[in-house]
Structure 1
Amino acid sequence: MKQLKLTGFVIFLFFLTECLSLPTKPQDVDDFNIIQKFIEDNVGYITIITFAQYVQEASFEEVEMLAKTMTEYRDQCLANSKLPQCSKLPNDALQEAICAMEGVPQKHNFSYCCNKGGFERRLCFFRNKKADVGFLPPLPTLDPEVKCQAYKNNSESFLSNYIYEVSRRNPFVFTPTLLTVMGLIEEMAKTCCEEQDKANCFRIKAVPVIQYLKAFSSFQKNVCGAFLRFGPTVLKSIYIAIFSQKFPKTEFEELTSILEDVSSKYDGCCEGDAVQCIRGRSKLMSHICSKQDSISSKIKECCEKKIPERGECIIQSKDDKPKDLSLKEEKFTENKNVCEERNADQDTFMAKFLYEYSRRHQELSTPELLRIARVYDDLLRECCNAENPPDCYSTMENKFNETTEKSLKIVQRECEHFQNLGKDDLKYHYFIKFTKIAPQLSTDELTFLGEEMVTALLTCCTLSEEFACVDNLVDLVIGEICGVNGNRTINPAVDHCCKTNFAFRRHCFEALEADKTYVPPSASQGLFTFHTDLCQAHNEELQRKKDRFLVNLVKLKPELTDEELRSSLTGFTNLVDKCCKAEGPEACFNEEDSDSSHNVSE
């Protein structure tokens, strides 16, 4: 495969960006130059990520075609920068080039986006991204020897193709994160290709890379979903809670200036604008690293790392709570002037409350801190209209404790499921639960959600910080259900939970029952037709088939009880066992098919 010649294209993009926002302070100039150098060293990969995320169906060869087109475009603009087409924003220029590719918009069915312009087109491209990637073929698996030979022959081409495949399957992951993943893949290839047992090396080293990608993917999708559905206020609240917990000695004024950079970062990252995302992330991390003394002593090593590892390291850091920080901040519950201060600047007042409460309660989850803030805001509305406001809001701490107690009980019930059920039964419990409340989701999505729920409980239910860990991770599972796009709809009950109140959507989901609007398919669609391929399936593949059988059975017969569904799954397992041991497996399956269909239809 030809090595991509994409350097000119991204330099051109940054030529445009520089014209729009040149740095002014000496340190800003240094940071700008470092980021510029980083981009120039990674231009091909950045372009591949952007294109593959916007048009997931596009082939790698089409990416190469786009690169050639953009290189010619760059040459025109370098020759005459006053041409009308040379004043476009980088992401607009890229999308126009995609739309101009002969036959590609029609082939991949996004012509309707190309008929729009400006913000509307950018939004359309964003909404063209598909979270459920079941339409793509499985990620190609190569023999380790073949993989290593390809890497040694042309490492750039190998990594380009790999990041293309990963990006199209993770359309909402931020570009800096995918570049970090690519770095980990390169490190893995370098190490494992020198090992004698290459297959085992790849298998072991791939696990943390996959976990890393999944963790950041879930978090970024969740936050972007909140940002795009509820706006910058909710995004700001999420980050006040996160930063105040992680770096509790940071002053509120410093935190406020950091949050200004967060908003600009998410505008680009959530939309899929790679150029703006990299610049926004780098600007934010540079800001944090320039104020280490007032933010945290724990980030010194992070700030010495290169882009983008620096940002990932800071995000995962956490400082200790100052010893002189009292458990309560009485000015929010015992100050007679609370209502006057609130009314003077409600947004700043609530931000200060969330900041003070979060830095004092590192044991709580981010969603729980947002719930407390919402409870406080709602009760202040009542109290500030009461005859004696101080008497009213002096009992706030009791309300906070009640809210946390309710959330804690939900987590305790989930961890009881973990303790009382085996791993498989726990998974089946959530397959059934999620399929009943959201049967409109694809089978792949539902099995993924169930597995993510089990991972959350396996990870958290034995830890001392059980509550925060479970609540944070389950909130990410809910984020997967609600999706990133604000226009995603599943069914009225689920949509209500996703769109009404970000802080309390966990409580809302907990109360959901089976979807009453759902109409099951009239035919079993081959659910009870079995073949000898089940006998050739390896353990993991056979388990996936069992998982899919259960989810599809719930979709077909949502009125069945959990016990009846489990019984049918056991029957399926026993049938596979019996027929695969028989002299004529196919005849055995044919004989049992009609009985299975008849039993379930009764």
Structure 2
Amino acid sequence: MKTVLVLLLALALGHALERGRDYEKDKVCKELAMLGKDDFRSLSLILYSRKFPSGTFEQVSQLVKDVVTLTEECCAEGADPNCYDTRTSELSIKSCESDAPFPVHPGTSECCTKEGLERKLCMAALSHQPQEFPTYVEPTNEEICEAFRKDPRGFADQFLYEYSSNYGQAPLPLLVGYTKSYLSMVGSCCTSASPTRCFLKERLQMKHLSLLTTMSNRVCSQYAAYGKEKSRLSNLIKLAQKVPTATLENVLPIAEDLTEILSRCCESTSEDCMARELPEHTIKICENLSKKNSKFEECCQENTPMNIFMCTYLMPAAEPLQLPAIKLPTNKDLCGQSTKHAMDQYTFELSRRTQVPEVFLSKVLETALKTLRECCDTQDSVTCFSTQSPLLQKQITSFIEKGQELCADYSENTFTEYKKVLAERMRTKMPNASPAELEDTVDKHSDLASKCCSINSPPFYCNSQTWNWTTLENCQ
């Protein structure tokens, strides 16, 4: 596995690093020799499906084919010493052609203005935004075996592409381990005397790995979108909403512990990083929060650490506490030595007072606190704070109200019932709208709510589609 991961991390569009072409060629050729062509090809397919999840199967397959072919030919005994450099240069040139059969990326045109090694490095750095709404649906046992018997390699390639492009933010060791186990299961069960019984048995054995992989993809997707510090605040917001009766001292260590785990494990080449770290994290969750909230206590009764983690992760926001309104931090809070604590305290207090999803609060808090922090660098920070604070407080209040209106009734109803309630609300709010206009507004509003009103809403999509004032106003 370690050898496999070295390969996966080494593979890139140009196969060239700053440390030199000869070094990179030698490393890749050793990996090819150790793994063999078939494993090298399968693992390349995982990597490029993960790297370019918006690319089609045909595009990713063509890229893999070209990379494997050039690697095999240039690593062969007696190959021209310049083969590797020449062929990778040709590949980068081919990628710049208007009809290139490779995954399209907005940054490709910029890379194509560069030359030589600089272009290869630029190409190697390209990647697509992760899939935030997985579309992979596992076929039935009968469909799996029919496709496998018809074309075993074609089935394996299609599965590796589909699964890796949909769950590509899971740590590489988990992605490699799960896909390998899955294909092994298919190979065994589709040739057994009782496929149904075989699939049932194998899936039960793979359940933990499957759950670990999909949950890791979810938490690592957020980490990739937010980065370390914003992920820390995001985790703090969610915990404050789930257990508003707790104190900052109860929830902050849990939020920071998860953030540290993600920073260590999401890009780790260790086979057991997530498997080792998440169970330890669940112990801390239960020690700190199970006595603060009955739902956390129920979660902590689950039979495995992974089930405990999933239960707490998927837990919705609790009913907010009815507490006095809080004021923004002052210049004394933010311009002194306790800046981070003041920001954490305000984030926690605001979060436990509202059910508005974290993607709303993260956005508005980031803007407001950044503006106030900038006051610290002005000549008269006191005046800056006194001027900005009322404006920012008004913006925060307005933003939360919009979020509450957008998500009102969503969590309390089925989607069908929610649309009925929403239609009535919009009919009252838009009395002069035609039936077609009303239906269009309800469809847009409900689609937005379905994607962005849960506590674990996808940050890339929800930030780009919703979290600006104009879009929110248009949704009302």
Aligned CA distance change for structure 1 residues 364 and 314 (closer, same or farther; 3 Å): same
Q: Counterpart in 2 of 1:406?
A: 402
| AA in 2 matched with 1:369 | L
The C-alpha deviation readout for 1:297-322, integer Å capped at 9, x for no partner, is 4554678356xx8865653246978x
Q: Counterpart in 1 of 2:334?
A: 342
Q: Distance in 1 between matches of 2:95 and 2:344?
A: 45
State the Cα RMSD in Å. Answer: 6.5
| AA in 1 matched with 2:353 | H
Q: Counterpart in 1 of 2:18?
A: none
Q: Distance in 2 between matches of 1:140 and 1:318?
A: 25
| AA in 1 matched with 2:471 | F
| AA in 1 matched with 2:423 | Q
1:367 matches 2:359: yes
Aligned CA distance change for structure 1 residues 222 and 160 (closer, same or farther; 3 Å): same
Of the three residues 212, 219, 234, the one matched with 1:238 is 234
1:219–1:476 CA contact under 8 A, matched in 2? no
Aligned CA distance change for structure 1 residues 238 and 122 (closer, same or farther; 3 Å): farther
1:385 matches 2:382: yes
Report how far residue 364 of structure 1 moved: 2.5
Q: Distance in 1 between matches of 2:154 and 2:467?
A: 44
Aligned CA distance change for structure 1 residues 295 and 52 (closer, same or farther; 3 Å): same
Q: Distance in 1 between matches of 2:177 and 2:396?
A: 39
Q: Counterpart in 2 of 1:315?
A: 313
Report how far residue 59 of structure 1 moved: 1.7
- Scaled by the length of structure 1, the TM-score of the pair is 0.42
1:170–1:217 CA contact under 8 A, matched in 2? yes
Aligned CA distance change for structure 1 residues 130 and 398 (closer, same or farther; 3 Å): closer
Q: Distance in 2 between matches of 1:279 and 1:98?
A: 36
Report how far residue 258 of structure 1 moved: 1.6
Q: Distance in 2 between matches of 1:329 and 1:183?
A: 54
Q: Distance in 2 between matches of 1:103 and 1:375?
A: 46
SS at match of 1:505: coil
Report how far residue 288 of structure 1 moved: 1.3
1:469 matches 2:453: yes
Aligned CA distance change for structure 1 residues 108 and 69 (closer, same or farther; 3 Å): same
- Scaled by the length of structure 2, the TM-score of the pair is 0.51
Report how far residue 347 of structure 1 moved: 3.0
Gaps of 5+ in 2: 11-38, 76-83, 97-107, 200-209, 291-296, 410-417, 428-434
Report how far residue 162 of structure 1 moved: 0.4
Q: Distance in 2 between matches of 1:512 and 1:105?
A: 44
Q: Distance in 1 between matches of 2:470 and 2:170?
A: 27
Q: Counterpart in 2 of 1:429?
A: 440
Aligned CA distance change for structure 1 residues 61 and 150 (closer, same or farther; 3 Å): farther
Q: Distance in 2 between matches of 1:98 and 1:280?
A: 36
Of the three residues 457, 469, 474, the one matched with 1:507 is 469
Aligned CA distance change for structure 1 residues 385 and 372 (closer, same or farther; 3 Å): same
Q: Distance in 1 between matches of 2:86 and 2:168?
A: 19
Q: Distance in 1 between matches of 2:61 and 2:385?
A: 67
Percent of aligned pairs with the same amino acid: 10
1:275 matches 2:237: no
Report how far residue 398 of structure 1 moved: 8.1
Aligned CA distance change for structure 1 residues 508 and 281 (closer, same or farther; 3 Å): farther
1:147 matches 2:141: no
| AA in 2 matched with 1:164 | Y
SS at match of 1:58: helix
2:222–2:231 CA contact under 8 A, matched in 1? no
1:289–1:303 CA contact under 8 A, matched in 2? no
Report how far residue 15 of structure 1 moved: 12
Aligned CA distance change for structure 1 residues 343 and 179 (closer, same or farther; 3 Å): same
| AA in 2 matched with 1:288 | H
Gaps of 5+ in 1: 1-6, 17-41, 74-96, 133-137, 199-208, 434-449, 461-467, 482-503, 514-602
Report how far residue 385 of structure 1 moved: 1.7
Aligned CA distance change for structure 1 residues 125 and 511 (closer, same or farther; 3 Å): farther
Q: Counterpart in 2 of 1:289?
A: 282
Q: Counterpart in 1 of 2:253?
A: 254
The number of aligned residues is 366
Q: Distance in 1 between matches of 2:139 and 2:308?
A: 32
1:352 matches 2:345: yes
SS at match of 1:251: helix
Q: Distance in 2 between matches of 1:426 and 1:194?
A: 52
SS at match of 1:385: helix
Q: Distance in 1 between matches of 2:180 and 2:437?
A: 35
| AA in 2 matched with 1:363 | Q
